[in-house]
Amino acid sequence: MYLTDYTIIWILIGLVVISCGLYLILKSPFCYPYYVYRFDISRKRKPEIMDLIDKFLIDNHFSQIQRHNLYIMQWKDECRKKIENSRFKNYRKRQFYACLDDENAYQFCMTRQQTRYRQRNYVKTSYQVTQEVGKFACNYNFLCTRNNQLREINYECTLREYHSKNQRKLMTKEIRRKIMIRDKYTCQYCGKYMPDEVGLHIDHIIPVSKGGKTIPSNLQVLCSKCNGNKSNKS
Ligand SMILES: [Zn+2]
């Protein structure tokens, strides 16, 4: 048989079209809907990802997690319908189960902005790149449990802080300022108002030595005199 150049071209085009079609039919139509959240830690020294996740939950983001769980369930329902209507039921079912990844459904990444430089024609220009420096993946139940544990301590601090053996170390400048503002620079015993903060102390209502935590509900502003009286009594 004699084939012209045109026939060969048409055969090639036909082959390409058929293989594209086959590829589209055979490839998995399922793509697992992961929840991805990125923490930008550019200005933090060495944060723990679990602390960041706790703070994320403390900032009332658990509703997002719940909403996403509903979304995953809806997605699964839709996939099942798709499988039912498909001509290759068993093949699609296998693809569906292969793409399920409930154990890693929630993914938290820590990213850092880095400045890099490029030199062109003797001119140095800077540009930013985002680099992933840490990752944590978990399932929905893990976050539910974590959120319940945080609720038990009234979302006052992260779980690591709550269980820390060194509660005094957790007394930071920020928490001092927070308590001063909350208590309006006023001694909570005698009512003395000292806006310059000098002579005011942050007191643990239940002392650290008796298991008191460095959390807002266990802290109060006292003047030196009242603070001295309190420690003499206890
Ligand atoms: Zn006082």
Residue 103 domain flag? yes
Strands 123-138 and 200-204: unpaired
Residue 214 CA to ligand 1 centre (angstroms):
21
Looking at the structure of the chain, the number of domains it has is 2
- pLDDT score of 1 more than 70: no
What is the 178 CA–ligand 1 centroid distance (Å)?
19
Residues 106 and 137: beta-carbon distance below 8 Å: yes
CA of 223 to the centre of ligand 1 (A): 4
Q: How far is the CA of 195 from the centre of ligand 1 (A)?
A: 14
How far is the centre of ligand 1, averaged over its atoms, from the C-alpha of 197 (Å)?
13
Asked if the model's pLDDT at residue 132 lies above 80, the reply is: yes
Ligand 1 geometric centre to CA of 199 (Å): 10
Higher pLDDT, 234 or 224: 224
pLDDT at 103 over 70: yes
* Stretch 215-233: mean pLDDT: 91
More confident residue, 1 or 133: 133
- Ligand 1 geometric centre to CA of 166 (Å): 27
pLDDT above 90: residue 232: no
Percentage of the chain surpassing pLDDT 70? Answer: 98
Please report, for the domain that includes residue 195, its CATH number.
1.10.30.50
Residue ending a domain, choose from 163, 183, 198: 163
Same domain, 67 and 146: yes
Tens digit of each residue's pLDDT (9 = 90 or more) over 175-189: 999 999 999 999 999
* pLDDT tens-digit series, residues 8-43: 899 999 999 999 999 988 899 999 999 999 999 988
Residue 198 CA to ligand 1 centre (angstroms)? 13
Whether residue 40 is found in the same domain as residue 111? yes
Do 148 and 191 belong together in one domain? no
- The encoded tokens of residue 85 equal 């209507």
- Ligand 1 center from residue 186 Cα (angstroms): 8
What's the gap in Å between 184 CA and the centre of ligand 1? Answer: 13
Rounded Cα distance, 33 and 37, in Å:
13
- 45/135 same-domain check: yes
CA of 221 to the centre of ligand 1 (A): 9
For residues 140 and 131, give the distance between their C-alpha atoms in angstroms, rounded to a whole number.
Answer: 26
161 alpha carbon – ligand 1 mean position (Å): 29
Query: Domain check: are 156 and 172 in the same one?
Result: no
C-alpha to C-alpha distances, 207 to 99, 152, 164, 211, nearest whole angstrom:
52, 20, 15, 7
The model's pTM is 0.80
Summarised one tens digit per residue, pLDDT across range 27-36 is 999 999 999 9
Mean model confidence pLDDT for the chain: 93
Give the residue numbers spanning the domain of 234.
165-234
24 inside domain? no
The pLDDT, as a whole number, for residue 43 is: 85
pLDDT value at 75 more than 90: yes
Domain boundary among 111, 130, 163: 163
* CA of residue 206 to ligand 1 center, whole Å: 17
Cβ distance 65 to 106 under 8 Å?
yes
Q: Are residues 172 and 221 in the same domain?
A: yes
Same domain, yes or no: 200 and 111: no
Tell me whether residue 26 is in a domain: no
- Three-class HEC string of 117-149: EEEECCEEEEEEEEEEEEEEEECHHHHHHHHHH
**Is the pLDDT confidence value at 78 over 70?**
yes
Q: Final residue of a domain: which of 107, 142, 163?
A: 163
CA of 229 to the centre of ligand 1 (A): 9
Other Cβ atoms within 10 Å of 50 Cβ, number: 14
Q: Are residues 40 and 130 in the same domain?
A: yes
Query: Across the strands, what pairs with 126?
Result: 117
pLDDT band of 45, cuts 50, 70, 90: confident
Distance 95 CA to ligand 1 centre (A): 70
What confidence tens digit (pLDDT) does each residue in 108-118 have?
999 999 888 88
**pLDDT for residue 233:** 73
